[in-house]
C-alpha cells in the first residue's frame, strides 16, 4: 500500500520515525516534504499529499505539523479527502472504521513519537466498517458534491 506522507517544519520530528515505521511494516511511503527545519507554509506540502490520496496515487495519507489542526483543515479542503486528527490511537482507528478517513493528521508539538507511531499503526490497520457508517459517509460525500456545485468547493 502506498501512503502519502507530508510535513511542515514543525512536524518534521515525527516524519523520519513514521517513514521508517511504515517501511518496516511493509508499506510504501511517498514523501511529499518537507525535509528542512526551515519554516514552510504547510498548505504547500500538505495539499499535494492529500491530492495524491484523492487521485488514488496513494491509498492513505499521513500529514504532520505542530498541532495537526492546520494540516487536517488543508487536507479536508481537497475533494474526496476525509482527514481525522488524532492525539491517541483510538481516534485514529475510529476515524478509519466509522468515517472511512483516508488521511491522518498528527501534531508533533502535541504528541510524542511513541503515541504518533501507535496512531499510525491503528490508522493503517483500520478498515471501514460500512453498515450504518456507510450511509453517513455517503451523506458527507453528497454535501461535498453539493458544495462544489455551488461554486465554492
| pLDDT band at 15; cut points 50, 70, 90 | very high
Catalytic residue chosen out of the listed positions 97, 98, 133, 144: 98
User: What proportion of the chain, given as a percentage, has pLDDT over 70?
Assistant: 95
pLDDT at 5: 98
**Can you read off the three cell numbers belonging to residue 82?**
476525509
Instruction: Identify whether 71 is a catalytic site residue.
Output: yes
pTM, two decimals, is: 0.93
Q: Looking up cell 490511537, which residue turns up? A: 89
For residue 124, give the nearest of 87, 97, 106 by alpha carbon: 97
Catalytic residue chosen out of the listed positions 71, 85, 144, 150: 71
Backbone angles phi, psi at 119, to 5 degrees: -65, -45
DSSP-assigned letter for residue 79 = T
pLDDT at 152: 47
Q: Is 31 helix (H, G, I), strand (E, B) or coil?
A: strand
| pLDDT band at 146; cut points 50, 70, 90 | confident
Instruction: Identify whether 9 is a catalytic site residue.
Output: no
Tens of pLDDT, residue by residue over 28-82, are 999 999 999 899 999 999 999 999 999 999 999 999 999 999 999 999 999 999 9
Q: Looking up cell 520515525, which residue turns up? A: 17
Average pLDDT over residues 128-151: 82
pLDDT at 149: 54
CA atoms of 54 and 56, how far apart (whole Å): 5
User: What domains can be seen in the chain, in order of their start residue?
Assistant: 2-149 (3.40.1400.10)
Buried b (16+ CB within 10 A) or exposed e, 29-55: bbebbbeeeeebebbebbbebbbbbbe
Amino acid at each position: 500500500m502506498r501512503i502519502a506522507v507530508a510535513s511542515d517544519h514543525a512536524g518534521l520530528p515525527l516524519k523520519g520515525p513514521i517513514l521508517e515505521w511504515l517501511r518496516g511494516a511493509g508499506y510504501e511511503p511517498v514523501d511529499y516534504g518537507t525535509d528542512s527545519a526551515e519554516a514552510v507554509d504547510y498548505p504547500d506540502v500538505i495539499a499535494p499529499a492529500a491530492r495524491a490520496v484523492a487521485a488514488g496515487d496513494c491509498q492513505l495519507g499521513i500529514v504532520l505539523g505542530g498541532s495537526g489542526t492546520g494540516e487536517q483543515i488543508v487536507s479536508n479542503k481537497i475533494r474526496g479527502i476525509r482527514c481525522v486528527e488524532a492525539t491517541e490511537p483510538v481516534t485514529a482507528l475510529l476515524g478509519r472504521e466509522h468515517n472511512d478517513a483516508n488521511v491522518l493528521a498528527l501534531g508533533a508539538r502535541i504528541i510524542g513519537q511513541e503515541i504518533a507511531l501507535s496512531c499510525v499503526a491503528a490508522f493503517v490497520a483500520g478498515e471501514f466498517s460500512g453498515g450504518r457508517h456507510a450511509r453517513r459517509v455517503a451523506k458527507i460525500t453528497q454535501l461535498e458534491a453539493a458544495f462544489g456545485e455551488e461554486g465554492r468547493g
